Structure 1
């Protein structure tokens, strides 16, 4: 599905475009709308569309300014300008911003649909050209790079590699002999790899990985010597064994990593991939590469937890040595809230938990992940008691295939909040259905057994409910208290029995469940305003 943004300060125009165009038939969907350029730009930066429909004259930021900014930041977006006749000459100046076409207002539905189809065709042609180039590169370079990837991956992932195996790996990795000088391992991962692969590469992660590999390798070239490769067998893991210049000292590190951060920002602009970089310690011999890489890999794995920026040093992870454990009483309270459908209380507890985590600089990320797992296990066990699996309730797999949900606080929180909301809604709906059924059964029981000795406590035991809970539930479902409802059932039965003049009033009292005749007479008079005998004389004689 191609994504389209509609930007126009006239609400009716936006509604008209959204409702009159058959988007599904065009293979498109409206991904966002805005009434001015500034609001549109904020949304586009969050989720870039394929096609932009924009007016020219708008408040805050007009269409020309929006087109200029989009052209700079997202050159792959296809812009289509909507303009009135009086604006047309002015709007044509936007050609420098890569405008695909112009639609005059009032907008003709068929003309707009035809223009959108042509825009989609151009996007498809560009995608095909890109894919052909990438596939050609893959075919040309397939054998050599894969051998090199495998060899270099062994160097950084097998610390116990024997001397002969190490020499072979060096040779296949492109080294005639072991290089001299200081080095440092950096590990790169895209936080949104799966999303971009789906959106821009049709779900082909191999193609997405190859494209990212080439762009990243090219952008790293100005940073000096080093060996860059993709970890063998991993589409979203890249390694750079950086050669540190002999003259570089600690005072120059900040400048280097500042430039590296700028490069990562540029890569995001070009490709849409948001990369994290993990940095390991220096090593003088390639025997130390595996240790440095292990540190870099651990750093990048925890980047979204321990750091706000895209580059994380290994000591930022190793320096966190506090083991966190969620208090047992809080976990019980959270599960209680979920089981009873108290969604807001459960969400408040999750907010409190993440405030504690994000506010700490000492909690180790591993213990945070373990806590997430423990909460998930607790929720799963609670649902199992009710005969349903967690995946059935949430509609999601228990874990992301690439482990992305645990890579940042933002993703962890989104996933946990989504789980809490869906489980709470499910339990709330289930309890309502179950409660309604329980009250229906109890009402039928009272109507059949009113003549017997009945109490709230006895009925609670019979139906395995807490008396206080039953009392609240009964009032909620019927609008009457348990005792008032039982009295009404008995008094209704009394009226029917009064039709039989052969029955004495004292006999009727015991037949409807009242052992104390005086209490029966009082209840009847309180409700009907007369005694049973007076009622019989008025209505049945």
Structure 2
């Protein structure tokens, strides 16, 4: 059943029309009525009737003004039939302007009303069929465009797809990119169809708008292709039409979903066949925004070509930052990250290269925390809190500072808990490897701990320095060999880790007040 609304300030006219015709027989039912323009407007918006039958002379707002507001302000798709006691050409001409399907003079004739109902019913049925065909065609083209833009299909002069797209050669289009900063927000946008509904609520429903959802769940991006003509006509050829349209779109998404997308408006191109160029201008602008900070709305007509650096950043940069984290030096962490930030900006590193470099850094942090016996729940929580998706470089920098300082505090806590265990492991390692050329720096790498920090902790807990402890162990082993084995002093020197026999003799004498030979003779007596 199609819904009908009747508007007249004379109650007997309204009641007479209700009883005059068997509405159900012609596929209609009366959903509401009104006796003035303001009340009628509220009910029209609320009930969204398929057919509105209205008198011209109404209190507060006349019938033609009412129809104008329904169409232009509220975008209602209702059909209109006017009833009037005046047979005036101006009224009829204005009614024609708004596509009124019937103009019936009072007193109302039943046959005229029925004729208008049949005319309206046929018009609605025809429109719905056209709309269905148009919707199916747009969905088909959207699917083609999505594959075409991603280079999943190729075209040639004899290709059916090319001929399909060439049907739009006489129109100008722009590619719009809507970027959302959170995956869950984008998923809500996708599921609710908010973008499509808002766009079609702003533009004419017959506009050649194509929606291209791209890389969902990965880059949080939503693509749409808009006809330039519809945007300009909507805003009466305003010089700021594009910006105002994007701002309206952003405002309506915010009112519906509570967050705003970053919008990139691609350069204008002729026909859908060239839409890749428009999208590519959005990609360039998005990279610029990443480096030079976010703009909520970017029109890409004048985006300059930038030669980004595609090589990976120096590994030493990451190593220096990790050293600062291990030392729990907050000032050095901030200074180091600030230096990285300006290096990226000045050298113009490609955004994906930057993100890959940060991802590699995070992997090193994971290894460090894992080797320090960090609990899995704490490890996952620390890494999960770092999310670069949809962020620009400045935002990533701020997040990286917070992440690194928190990680430094976590490492400091883990070390405080693990110091005794680590020292025990270091002592065991020395016991097993005293005969090798081992140094504090080498051991610190094995146990994933800063060498300076390890040296301080070692002396504080053992009472002597690392080198003093190593020499003590080696001399004790040498003493046993001098007593139990018949090796020469130079051989024993090598066996306990000294390559220089004179250095060995000096250290032995320093710790025992005897040379190795004297010690051996004393023990033999």
TM-score w.r.t. structure 2 length?
0.47
TM-score w.r.t. structure 1 length?
0.46
